[in-house]
Each structure stands twice: as C-alpha cells, then as structure tokens.
Homo-oligomer: A and B are copies of this chain.
Amino acid sequence: MTTPSFDARAVEILRSIVQHYILTGEPVGSRAVSKLSSEGLSPASVRNVMADLEELGYLAQPHTSAGRVPTDKGYRQYVDTVPPGRTLPRGDRALIDESLGGAGGEMTEAMEVIPRLLSRLTSQVGWFVAPPIQATILKHIEFIRLHEHRVLVVFVDRAGTLTHKILETDRDHPQAELDRAGRYLVDQFAGQTLSDIRAGLVALMAEEKARFDVLLKNAVELGSGFLNSTGPEKRLVLEGASNLMKHPEFADVATMRSLFETFEEKHRLVSLLDRYVDQPGVQVFIGRENRDPTLDNLTLVVSKYSLDDRTGGTLGVLGPTRMEYERVVALVGYISFLFSDLLHRHDG
C-alpha cells in the first residue's frame, strides 16, 4: 500500500474538477475530466488520481455511484493556487465604475450602493459593514428638541456616516439652548474620535462643577448622554438574500430558514465580520472555515476598506461554497480598492 500522491498532475486534475463543478453544479466523473483535461489521460488513470484526492480530503462522493465534488479543502486549494491577477471581466469593471462614479465616498451612500452592486454582480448576498462608531471622527453634531423631555441627536462623522438617537432628558431644553450646545461641541471636539471625545468630556466634567457656566454644562451632559448609549448596531447592510434561494444547494427549507434568521440577527453577523477588519487584501472563508455552523455551506468573501491608517470597515459577498471564486474575489477586491480611494480623496 502506497501513500496517495499529490503531484502536479493531481493539482491539475483537481483544478479541472473544481472549475467544472462550479460551472455545472453536477458531480464530476472521471470521463468528463478525461475529456476536459489538456493532458490526454484516460478515465481509468483519472480515476486513480481522483481516488487519491478523495483519500487526501480534497474531493468527496455524494454517493458511491456518483462523480466527485470538491470539499472545503478542495476549494481552498483551488483559491490558493489560482493566480490573483487581472481576472476582472471588462463588463463588470465598467458597471462598477459607472455605479460608483457618481458617488462621493460618503458612508451613508456607500451603505446603500455597495451591497446592491455586489449583489447584482454576483447574484449572491452583498454586504457592507460601516466602521465602528467609536472610530469615527466628529464632523457635526446637532440637538433637536422633540418634546419636553426628548431630544433628537444627529451625529455626522467626517466620512459621511449619519447616526441618530433619541435622548430622554431630565428637564426641558429650549431649542436655542440646544443649538448652542451643538455648536459648542463641534467647536470643541470636531476632528476627534468618539473615544477621544468621551475622554475629553470626562475630563471636563471632572473639573470643578462650579466653574461651569450653564451652557457648557448642558452641552457636556447632552454629549455624554449620546455617547453613553451607543445603541443597537446598524452598521451592517445586506442585500439580495433572496438570491440564495436560486441555488439548488439550498432547496431545504429548514436550512434556508435558519440562515435567514441569522441574517435578521445583524449584531451577531457584525461581530463575526468585524474580526476580519485588520487583515489586508481579499480574504476567502470556505464552508466550515467560518466558525459559524449556519454558514457551513457558505463561502464568505471579505475585503477591508480603509478610512485612515487606523480604521476602516469591511465589505464583501456571501454565497454558496460553489461560487465563481476568481470573479468574485476580483470584484470584491476592486470595489474595496475603489471605495478606499474615494474615501481618501474626499478626506480633506
């Protein structure tokens, strides 16, 4: 008994099988590989190699009398060896340039446009995660009186993210006072991150209270009220979930349902996706490689975009493990590059 080999020919055959399977969705038999593969190998030879590949865990058989299907490990090998070069089709590139051409690199806009774009191009789920709110840099803050004890806080950061929140206040603040408070905070803190501002506010409040004039005191109180209630995360936008139902691998309603339930719990997804914000380049997580069991049959393609040296967010695609890896990776990479560029160009 010899140990199974994983030589150049095996790699080539694996590549051929993965490509064919991605294309058709049908298990690939030795006959098909023999015809497709450039090297003129007979089905019997191919079978030997395939048996080895299966033993090594790159392929699996749905059942004895069927062809082979790539495993997660098989896909992994494939994406790792595929040249990361210029694999972006012309048409795709044109569409992206057009869609993002009019955009000005603001987060508010990107959160709508980018997931939709990704979803359309790939027929899968496109997603976008905005940077965490603590990392954003104050551009503008505004307090608007709603009723006696309720104030609407509108916060805009330098990247064009819009956040808002309703604050319950102890006493009634007239609008004029709120306007002054907003202006004071902007004068004092514009250009700083929320965590800096939080620190600054704490420092101010630690100073002897008597020295505060009423205005300053109110501004500080309202500001810290906003900061202390970070609120539920609305940083994630998903688009095209129904696309997943097109794919035969999700014919099972039960799987589908648990997947959609996951989509509805956005905060869980956000914390999953935030893990990848520090890695450069386009990352691919295939099937089980995602730690989450609901994503077992899915591949996550992630790319970070950068806001400045320290911070950024992520965007990408979620789809069945059987996806057009080369194209999707190229798409996600290009879009995140373009968006980072937009952000930097307008960051003045």
Contacts and interface: CB of A to CB of B under 8 A. Distances in A.
Given A146-B106, A146-B160, A253 B245 contact: yes
A144 B152 contact: no
A160 B154 contact: no
Interface residues of A, number: 35
Contacts of A35: none
19 contacts: A104-B150, A106-B166, A109-B166, A142-B142, A142-B154, A146-B346, A147-B348, A152-B162, A154-B162, A162-B164, A239-B264, A240-B264, A241-B264, A242-B260, A242-B261, A245-B253, A245-B260, A251-B253, A256-B256
Given A106-B146, A108-B164, 15 more contacts: A104-B150, A106-B150, A108-B166, A139-B144, A140-B144, A144-B156, A146-B160, A152-B162, A162-B164, A240-B264, A242-B261, A245-B257, A250-B253, A253-B256, A256-B256
B147 A156 contact: no
A344 interface: no
Contacts of A263: 242
Interface string A128-145: 000000000001101010
Nearest to A257: B245
A260 B256 CA distance: 12
Nearest to A168: B104
Contacts of A261: 242
Contact of A152 (B152, B156, B348): B156
A268 interface: no
A9 interface: no
Interface of A: 104, 106, 108-109, 139-140, 142, 144, 146-147, 150, 152, 154, 156, 160, 162, 164, 166, 239-242, 245-246, 250-251, 253, 256-257, 260-261, 263-264, 346, 348
A196 to B, nearest CB: 21
A146 B144 CA distance: 21
A152 B160 contact: yes
A48 to B, nearest CB: 39
Contacts of A250: 253
B166 A104 contact: yes
A220 to B, nearest CB: 22
A79 to B, nearest CB: 28
Nearest to A348: B147
Contact of A257 (B104, B239, B242): B242
Contact of A106 (B152, B242, B260, B346): B152
With a 10 A CB-CB cut-off, give which of A246, A257, A263 has the most chain B CB atoms: A257
Nearest to A104: B150
Contacts of A160: 146, 152, 166
A240 B108 CA distance: 25
B104 A146 contact: yes
Contacts of A104: 146-147, 150, 166
A147 B346 contact: yes
A246 B144 CA distance: 43
A172 to B, nearest CB: 12
Given A104-B150, A106-B150, A156-B152, A241 B260 contact: yes
Task: Give 10 closest A-B pairs by Cβ, nearest first.
Answer: A242-B260, A245-B257, A104-B150, A242-B261, A140-B144, A147-B346, A144-B156, A162-B164, A242-B257, A154-B154
